[in-house]
Copies of this chain bind each other. A is one copy, B any other.
Amino acid sequence: MFFDLSLSCRVGERAIELAFASQARLTALVGPSGVGKTTVLNCIAGLRRPESGRVAVAGNLLFDAAAGVNLRPELRRAGYVFQDARLFPHMRVAANLTYGERLAPTADRWIGQEEVVEFLGIGHLLARWPATLSGGETRRVAIGRALLSAPRFLLLDEPFASLDAERGETLMKLVERIRDELEIPILLVSHDRSEVERLAGEVVMLA
């Protein structure tokens, strides 16, 4: 079981309920805008505490309301690409990329800086401040930062939005490789049907 979760969560007036256990390494989470997809990712990453339920990823129990388990975010080791990129504005691109890498145990790293930089085509941006990046450049750096933190699983919130077709294709290939060769479980939020069809072994509908 790669993702095994059941959780309920209130935001404002909306009650979000979701339970699924996914056998597929890459699971897509889909649903209309505002239905609660980002909220679910936040719950899995440990940034929001569900009212009740249980979250396990790749056999690791991250949260269990009944058992009183609630791992702190830094111990969950999620590679979270936020819908809003959240680059650190006071660090250059290079420092943003290595932020998580330097905090991760060397043994856990499964991808190197050079490879990430090449795949994402951000070599010329390393000395830049985030404020000077274009929308797509920002997104790519955010993806790189998450991959380099040696995560045990990935949470991708619309990672391909605002990337051009070519760049999107390269990235999708990278995601496929991560899924297949590295066996890293991935939860992908996407609105693009073709993307979901191509990548996802299982599709979870939130409504």
CB-CB nearest in chain B for A31: B164
Which residue from chain B places its CB closest to the CB of A137 in the assembled complex?
B34
Determine the chain B residues whose CB is within 8 A of the CB of A134 once the complex forms: 33-34, 37-38
Q: Mark A57-98, 1 if CB is under 8 A from B, else 0.
A: 000000000000000000000000001100000000000000
A10-46 vs B: 1/0 string, CB under 8 Å? 0110000000000000000011111001100000000
How many copies of this protein are present in the complex?
A: 2
- At the interface, yes or no: A106 with Cβ under 8 Å from chain B? no
Instruction: A11-B132, A161-B161, A165-B191 given; name 19 further pairs at CB < 8 Å.
Output: A12-B128, A12-B132, A30-B164, A32-B136, A32-B164, A32-B166, A32-B167, A33-B135, A33-B136, A33-B164, A34-B136, A83-B135, A84-B135, A135-B157, A135-B158, A158-B161, A162-B191, A163-B191, A168-B191
Please list the residues of chain A having a beta carbon within 8 angstroms of any beta carbon in chain B: 11-12, 30-34, 37-38, 83-84, 128, 132-137, 139-140, 157-158, 161-168, 191, 193
